[in-house]
A = this chain, B = another copy of it.
């Protein structure tokens, strides 16, 4: 069997507070009997990848060294920030949650996959090659490109996971923040298909327009003066008692819980000092704003919960049947509901160039980069 060598994007934080991004040469191990080697052709830079790639690094401290083919990009972190990152200090960490590519080698029990294009999830995708167990990948439908299959796990499973969570927890409508994101657009398409009322919260008229074009009926601009009033109206109309929040910081989550409480109290017949009896759930699934969350508890009674929501925990909770059902739906609707759009496709070395990095690290709505390592 042929031996492969390739590059792997690594992020390393050292004791002195230096975060270094680099491309390391690695020898690809021969696949075991149940394993395959995939040549990566596409891997999206998701917000969830940036947390590992850059940590809390400030791009204003960015410095560039190395060569065009082997760039080295460094950042300086204040010592005070190292506490929460102690567990990663000194480790050279591979990055990239998901991707797609072509199977270039396979163990004896995985020969059927040889030459197939597959989607995959599991980390270390920002690389030329990735070795995985055959059962960890999904063969793409005939004719699908790696770009089309590159983001078939994280966002599609997350949006499907929101709907499954809604059903498992007994809610009937959803409030979503940062709703014009790639993920948010996908969620809107899914909710329309499944008849689930969705209240979208965005931060500009331009973002609102993106969602309206998809057929969204409830789109609220959190910067509008009458936002709180309109939110309570939309929550009352849809019966939403569940919210998924990508932002985390500030008091938007608290404002959503308050709107749900106000909607519940519109039909209240008697005063309860403990608030309404309607249970309200806010899941924080992202950290677009890493600053603290503020909960004005006095505005929403005692029937509430605010929780972290993490895709991999949800998948464990959902069980095998739900997982299989969701994966099949993703394959069936890969180029429709679950299509991702990319601002640009870049090579592996380009991802370390300061002018490129500055753009994708902003996590601006609608801007999403795709890495194609075969471009260099």
A positions within 8 Å CB-CB of B:
51-52, 56, 84, 86-88, 91, 93, 248-249, 251, 254, 265, 268, 270-274, 277, 284, 287, 290, 292-299, 301-310, 312-313
User: Would you call B303 and A306 a contact (CB within 8 A)?
Assistant: no
User: Would you call A293 and B295 a contact (CB within 8 A)?
Assistant: yes
User: Would you call B293 and A287 a contact (CB within 8 A)?
Assistant: no
List the B residue with the shortest CB-CB distance to A286: B302
Q: Is the interface of A mostly helix, strand, loop or mixed?
A: mixed
Given A271-B87, A271-B93, CB of A303 within 8 Å of CB of B298: no
Chain B residues, Cβ within 8 Å of A251 = 292
Cα-based distance from A295 to B305 in the complex (angstroms):
13
Chain B residues, Cβ within 8 Å of A296 = 292
27 pairs from A and B in contact (CB 8 Å cutoff): A51-B273, A52-B273, A87-B265, A87-B268, A87-B270, A87-B272, A88-B271, A88-B273, A91-B271, A93-B271, A251-B292, A274-B312, A284-B297, A284-B302, A287-B298, A292-B296, A293-B294, A294-B294, A297-B308, A302-B309, A302-B310, A303-B308, A303-B313, A304-B307, A305-B305, A305-B307, A306-B306
The 6 closest A-B pairs by CB, nearest first: A302-B308, A305-B307, A88-B271, A87-B271, A302-B310, A293-B295
List the B residue with the shortest CB-CB distance to A275: B308
User: Would you call A308 and B304 a contact (CB within 8 A)?
Assistant: yes
Given contacts A84-B298, A297-B308, A305-B308, 17 further A-B contacts (CB under 8 A): A56-B298, A87-B265, A87-B268, A87-B272, A93-B271, A249-B297, A254-B292, A274-B312, A277-B313, A292-B297, A295-B295, A301-B308, A302-B313, A303-B310, A305-B305, A306-B306, A306-B307
List the B residue with the shortest CB-CB distance to A55: B273
Query: What is the minimal beta-carbon distance from A313 to any residue of chain B, in angstroms?
Result: 7
User: Would you call B295 and A292 a contact (CB within 8 A)?
Assistant: yes
User: Would you call A248 and B293 a contact (CB within 8 A)?
Assistant: no
User: Would you call B297 and A294 a contact (CB within 8 A)?
Assistant: no
Chain B residues, Cβ within 8 Å of A273 = 51-52, 88
Cα-based distance from A350 to B265 in the complex (angstroms):
35
User: Would you call A84 and B299 a contact (CB within 8 A)?
Assistant: yes
Chain B residues, Cβ within 8 Å of A293 = 294-295, 297
User: Would you call B274 and A310 a contact (CB within 8 A)?
Assistant: yes
List the B residue with the shortest CB-CB distance to A261: B84
List the B residue with the shortest CB-CB distance to A301: B308
Chain B residues, Cβ within 8 Å of A287 = 297-298
Contact of A306 among B84, B265, B274, B295 (CB under 8 A): B295
List the B residue with the shortest CB-CB distance to A87: B271
List the B residue with the shortest CB-CB distance to A81: B298
